[in-house]
Structure 1
Amino acid sequence: MLDKPKTTATPTATYGEEPGLRFAVLLDGQGGCRTVDIAAACSWKPGDGVMWLHFERDHPASADWVNTKGGFDPLVAEALLEEDSRPRVEPIGDGLLIILRGVCAAPPEDEETEEDDLDLVPLHIWVDEHRLVTLRDSGHFITALRDIRRALDIGKGPKKAGDLLALVSDKLVRDLEPVLDGMDEEIDELDDLIFKGEASEVRQRLKLLRRRAVQLRRYLAPQRDALNRIEHDDAPWLKERDKLRFREVIDKLMRFIEYLDAIRDRTSILHDDLATVIGERIARNSNRLAALAALLLPPSVVAGLFGMNVGGIPGVNDTWAFLIIVAVVVVISAATLWVLKKIDWL
């Protein structure tokens, strides 16, 4: 009887087992990795292979490691732990200090839940030939890093530091596409609502959408410049293949920025259409009120004249006077209605 072949389970990535450290892996140079703890990371030497450490930027343990155990220049450590930052790149020695923005998504345990408000969160990076250190705020989850980690666990990840950095940049930009597609679909939906005359809920949604487009562009433009600077850096560990990927990422990011400009222009057009619809509705309601006032004017005049408490009012002693007055009012009102329709007021 033949033995059944043994099946090997896909390793499961673990996160956050040590304070402030999301994960630490040592690349094997073949597309895979080996998970290490913080003690092994502190004793790591460049000859051991490429190390990737991912921290929570605002955790005290992370700040302690960056300031005392990471071996960084004080200015680099300060920049890595800085709270407010815009995308930029600074060559320092043989490494690069990089700050990019990535899409914040649901945490791994809540993958089936949909986020109503995706945002761009800062990702602080230090990279050289032998090590890549990334930091993001606690409570935020960047799908790009999660995908790369999973690829490493199954042996299909990057092999060198330059390859890893290029892949991080590529996936950060890639995750912007569904956000922009969602914004474009929302614009189409708002356009349909305006066309159907259902403009009551459009104004607030349009305002938020336009603000979101402006905010995204505010960060993507400097991110394009930052990636362009990485591509032209002369670091020896950045291979030609890595720079080719950076060029593709920059081209995709430029298209996304143009896409955002188009979205902003479309929101401006929709805002003008909404203002036109609201103006037409106000004018139509004003015409109706004016027509109603015109229809009620003859009865009001007659009622005012015959309601005066003075002598000499005709028909006081006539049994048919009231019916005659009612008939006259009906005729005048009908004539007024015909005139209003004739001049397209109704």
Structure 2
Amino acid sequence: MARVIVDCAIYKDGHRTDGPDDLSDALDQARASGAFLWIGLHEPTEEEFALVTSEFGLHPLAVEDALTAHQRPKLEVYDDSLFMVLKPLEYDDATATVTSGELMVFVGDAFVVTVRHGEGSALAEVRHRLEKDPELLRKGPASVLYVISDTVVDHYVEIASELQVDLEELESSVFSPNVSDSGNTASTIYTFKRQALEFRRATGPLMDPMNRLTSSGVPFVAESIRPFFRDVADHLTRSNEQGESLDRLLSDILAAHLTQVGVRQNDDMRKISAWAAMAAAPTMVAGIYGMNFEHMPELHQTWGYPAVMTLMAGIVTFLYVFFKRRGWL
């Protein structure tokens, strides 16, 4: 069990004390002293999580979700606890990729259990931030849920800003007159669109849980902590708007790029058609005079050959000037 326990502490009157080595009576100790217990776990197995499940009375459906991961952001209310799923995001600027982890939070009357999957959702920073604010800690286990949510959502805002910068660079490259490799450009746009989709998968479904936490009727969330969740909901709304804006802009950029490709192809076809027409005229004349009939105009005239060559040159020149004026060449 020690392998998966990242941190364990009891918080009383806004201050931290180290958690007990034996979890069997930790919750009773916390309740008796008016404190609460916070246990952080990283990718536990079913056997390793069994003790926590039995001691804290966690609902088996929530436990199953916490162990298997791959959940959408959500909030579920059970008799003895709340169960919330968040998807922390990380953005690699070097590869322009968004990766998501998963963070499950159980909140009860005197305990918080966090289960994280992936490397992008470490909570050490969250603990340090919370432990520096005793007044907030005194609001109980819901304060932990607030700080976790606030940290995750604030990171969404940062990632959205980074994606916006990269999108502006992509837009400049797409509309650059020097861009000619349409295949790679379209692939880049689609790849970026997948990153925007990954972002929206994390932020979009979280809006409903945040709205529920700001309203009355959710157990284990006191009235005094609800304004803090409203602040998180405001930041999340901005993140969702940025995500939707990114998606719309990417769709517009892709449509504009495909239009550019179509215009470029039409221009190429006009040029090919013009050159083909200029090649066809002398080919036709040469074909006629290559049929070797005996009685043909100018066939036996000394000026016949230069006249035909002049005719072919004149036709080609006329077609060239005509197509040039039309903008085909």
TM-score after normalising by structure 2: 0.83
> 2:327 aligns to what SS in structure 1?
coil
**Residue number among 72, 79, 103 corresponding to 1:123 in the alignment:** 103
Match of 1:40 in 2: 22
Matched, 1:53 2:36: no
The structure in which a higher percent of residues are helix is 2
Letter in 1 for 2:124: R
Match of 2:87 in 1: 101
**Which stretches in structure 2 are left out of the alignment for 5+ residues?**
none
- Alpha-carbon spacing, 1:223–1:318, altered in 2? closer, same or farther (3 Å): same
For the 8 Å contact 1:190–1:202, the answer to whether it is kept is: no
Matched, 1:189 2:175: no
Match of 2:284 in 1: 301
Q: Deviations over 1:282-302 (max 9, x none)?
A: 110011011101211222112
Matched, 1:72 2:58: yes
- Alpha-carbon spacing, 1:229–1:295, altered in 2? closer, same or farther (3 Å): same
Q: How many matched pairs?
A: 319
Match of 2:126 in 1: 148
CA distance in 2, matches of 1:115, 1:53: 34
Q: Deviations over 1:2-27 (max 9, x none)?
A: xxxxxxxxxxxxxxx93222222333
- Alpha-carbon spacing, 1:135–1:233, altered in 2? closer, same or farther (3 Å): farther
* Deviation for aligned residue 1:248: 0.6
For the 8 Å contact 1:103–1:118, the answer to whether it is kept is: yes
> 1:142 aligns to what SS in structure 2?
coil
Q: Deviations over 1:153-200 (max 9, x none)?
A: 7x4575232222111111111111122122222321222123213262
CA distance in 2, matches of 1:322, 1:331: 14
Letter in 2 for 1:182: E
Match of 1:11 in 2: none
Letter in 1 for 2:40: H
CA distance in 2, matches of 1:202, 1:23: 46
- Alpha-carbon spacing, 1:95–1:324, altered in 2? closer, same or farther (3 Å): same
* Deviation for aligned residue 1:281: 0.3
> 1:119 aligns to what SS in structure 2?
strand
- Alpha-carbon spacing, 1:310–1:23, altered in 2? closer, same or farther (3 Å): farther
Letter in 1 for 2:314: V
For the 8 Å contact 2:98–2:195, the answer to whether it is kept is: no
Matched, 1:333 2:319: no
CA distance in 2, matches of 1:343, 1:78: 70
Letter in 2 for 1:146: A
CA distance in 2, matches of 1:342, 1:281: 19
For the 8 Å contact 1:42–1:70, the answer to whether it is kept is: no
